[in-house]
Amino acid sequence: MKKGNPLFVDSTKFRGDLIATQIELKSVLIYEDEALFVIVTTHLGAERRIQMKMLDDKSYEARLHLNHQSQIGFQFVIEKQGRRLLQSVVHKGQAQYSMIENWMPVLEDPTLGVTGRPTEVDSGAPAKITDEDAIAWARESSINVRSLIDKWGL
């Protein structure tokens, strides 16, 4: 009874017929200044980016027309002022009437923190230098001085 079960393939639609697909994302929390997008890659490689609308408290939806049973990829992205904050893996599947996924962010952007939220950086605060930083700086400086002495015979 999994996704490939022919019992759940619409026999009135041939492969490739256009159908209205509803993509849903569940268990996701979006703040007021954030926006949720789904990026759909069709079987022809064309990319469509659609802003998702709230369905209920923690569910969002987007609707688009796709070719029945064609192979597609789709990825959910949370953005804030045009900057990507969080993203899901690229889900793959055959286009059908509804495609429902649970929100599961992944960390691919190194600027994202451990929790998946971007690390807050206060640009006005002075940089904090740790002992490890100082030792590493001194070691690097000494190597540089040594290399100059070797090079120029000072």
Partner 1 sequence: MAIVSVINQKGGVAKTTTAVNVAASWAKQGKNILLIDLDPQSSATRSVFADREFEKTIYDVVAGQVPIEDVIVHSEEFGIDMIPAEIMLSGIDMQLAAHFGREHILRRKLEAIERQYDSILIDCSPSLGLMTVNALLASKDIIIPICPEYFSLKGIELILETLQNIRAGLGYKVDVRGVVITRFRDRKIVRDVIQQVRDKYDLRVFTNFIPDNIAVEEAHHRHRPVHKYAPNCAAAKAYLELAAEIW
Task: By CB under 8 A, name the binding residues for partner 1.
Answer: 1, 3, 5, 7-12, 19-20, 96-100
Decide whether 67 or 87 has the Cβ nearer to partner 1: 67
Nearest to 103 by CA among 60, 72, 54: 60
Both structure tokens of 114: 């451990």
The CB-of-98 to partner 1 minimum distance in angstroms stands at: 5
The CB-of-2 to partner 1 minimum distance in angstroms stands at: 8
Rounded-to-10 torsion of CA 34, 27, 59, 1: 140
The CB-of-19 to partner 1 minimum distance in angstroms stands at: 7
Decide whether 14 or 137 has the Cβ nearer to partner 1: 14
Please name the helix (run of DSSP H) or strand (run of DSSP E) that holds residue 55, with its range, or none. strand 53-56
